[in-house]
Structure 1
Amino acid sequence: MPALAQTGLEAPAASASATPSVTLDTLFSDLKHERDDQKARRISERIWAQWRDSGSATVNLLMQWADKAVSDRKNGLALDLLDQAIVLMPDYVEGWNRRATLHFMMGNHGKSMVDINRVLTLEPRHFGAIAGMAAILSESGNDELELRAWEQMLEIYPANRQAQQKVGELADKLAGRKT
């Protein structure tokens, strides 16, 4: 989602006996226990690399084309490409997440939230989607729900500086309202 930078670092190859979900589970466990923000960021980059790889050359190509269309400001084309990726692989979390991000960029917050809900149904630990939800809640002025979203992110990714900062700011803001 818009609040988190995604990098192109690739995850190391998993052993033949490891499944992607086991690898993700291990990475999420490491992320939850890592307090150093730089080390945590490297773990999060490995998670993003796992999410980006759909396992399908066709879907990966559609996603690359969608990224290019977004960078060329051809949002309609990007949306069509993301729709096709989702049709081909309806359980591909990152297809839904990228479409949520595009809807957010286009100002379609309701559609973005629908896609975010689908992302979180498929992968409840998707901290990028949670950050996107927090951004939408921030724009709508819903401080209480935004705070809950950032707190949820910190449960998954405790070393995330942005989430830490937002929780502090929102907690102070809400405490000021109650006094």
Structure 2
Amino acid sequence: MSVFHINLKPIVAAAALTVWFSAPVAAQSEGMDDLFARLKSAEPADAALIEREIEMEWRKSGSPAMDLLLKRGREAMEAEDFAAAIDHFTALSDHAPGFAEGWHGRAQAYVRTERMGPAVADLKRVLSINPRQFHAIYGLGTLFEQIDRPDQAYDAYRLVLDLYPHHEDAQERLNRLEKDVNGVEL
């Protein structure tokens, strides 16, 4: 007779929760796929509306407490209290490490406090969680420009435009970098 007794209830409960919550995640992913398809083919006026729909989806953490931390971090950013913003976004990232918007918010706060190393690390984290987060890709492009890496900035802006063809700021920066990166046609 074995001395060990395995309690299967937690294992069965965990399996049931995995199945229960995987369907909404798959549905959300399909919804995002549809939004990105619409964004890619949209007219400029419609693209801005679709962008806002995508941003609203990105802001859904699934937890009222995490939503509150996100809200407080954004409010601190608006008030230009970047230390408080970093604190709120750090708490959010600590408690919900798979929620890309916490990392993105903190990256923005780091940029505003001229802490570029941590900003780049957080932007990379955002993109490991959400590779289509075009605001994070754009942010990397601007950081690459600041550190005189025009080729990498150009590539980042191209990625933004692949996802969001009517992103005016990315198009403007891409046009400005075109000559430096690709030279002048003779």
TM, length-normalised to structure 1? 0.84
Residue number among 88, 101, 104 corresponding to 1:97 in the alignment: 104
The one-letter code of the counterpart of 1:33 is: S
- Tell me the distance in 1 between the aligned counterparts of 2:130 and 2:34: 15
- Structure 2 residue aligned with 1:37: 44
More helix by share: 2
Identity among equivalent positions (%) equals 28
Cα root mean square deviation, aligned: 2.0
Structure 1: which 4+ aligned runs deviate by more than 3 Å? 175-179
Match runs of 1:13-52 below 5 Å: 19-34=27-42, 36-52=43-59
Task: Spell out, residue by residue over 1:39-61, the C-alpha distance to the aligned partner (whole angstroms, 9 max, x if none).
Answer: 11111110001111211100111
- Tell me the distance in 1 between the aligned counterparts of 2:67 and 2:182: 46
- Give the SS at the match of 1:19: helix
1:74, CA displacement in angstroms? 2.4
1:178, CA displacement in angstroms? 9.3
- Structure 2 residue aligned with 1:3: none
TM, length-normalised to structure 2? 0.81
Structure-2 change in CA distance of 1:68 and 1:125 (3 Å) = same
- Structure 1 residue aligned with 2:69: 62
Q: Larger Rg: 1 or 2?
A: 2
1:19, CA displacement in angstroms? 2.1
Structure-2 change in CA distance of 1:98 and 1:162 (3 Å) = same
- Tell me the distance in 2 between the aligned counterparts of 1:18 and 1:176: 44
Structure 2 unpaired stretches of 5+ = 1-23
- Tell me the distance in 1 between the aligned counterparts of 2:73 and 2:47: 28
- Tell me the distance in 2 between the aligned counterparts of 1:117 and 1:167: 21
Deviates more, 1:71-80 or 1:118-127: 71-80
Residue number among 89, 106, 116 corresponding to 2:113 in the alignment: 106
Residue number among 136, 147, 150 corresponding to 1:140 in the alignment: 147
1:173, CA displacement in angstroms? 2.7
- Give the SS at the match of 1:129: helix
Residue number among 151, 162, 165 corresponding to 1:155 in the alignment: 162
Structure 1 unpaired stretches of 5+ = 1-15
Relative contact order, CA 8 A, sep 6+: which one is greater? 1
Residue number among 134, 150, 174 corresponding to 1:167 in the alignment: 174
Structure-2 change in CA distance of 1:178 and 1:102 (3 Å) = farther
1:172, CA displacement in angstroms? 1.9
**Mapped pair 1:77 → 2:90:** no
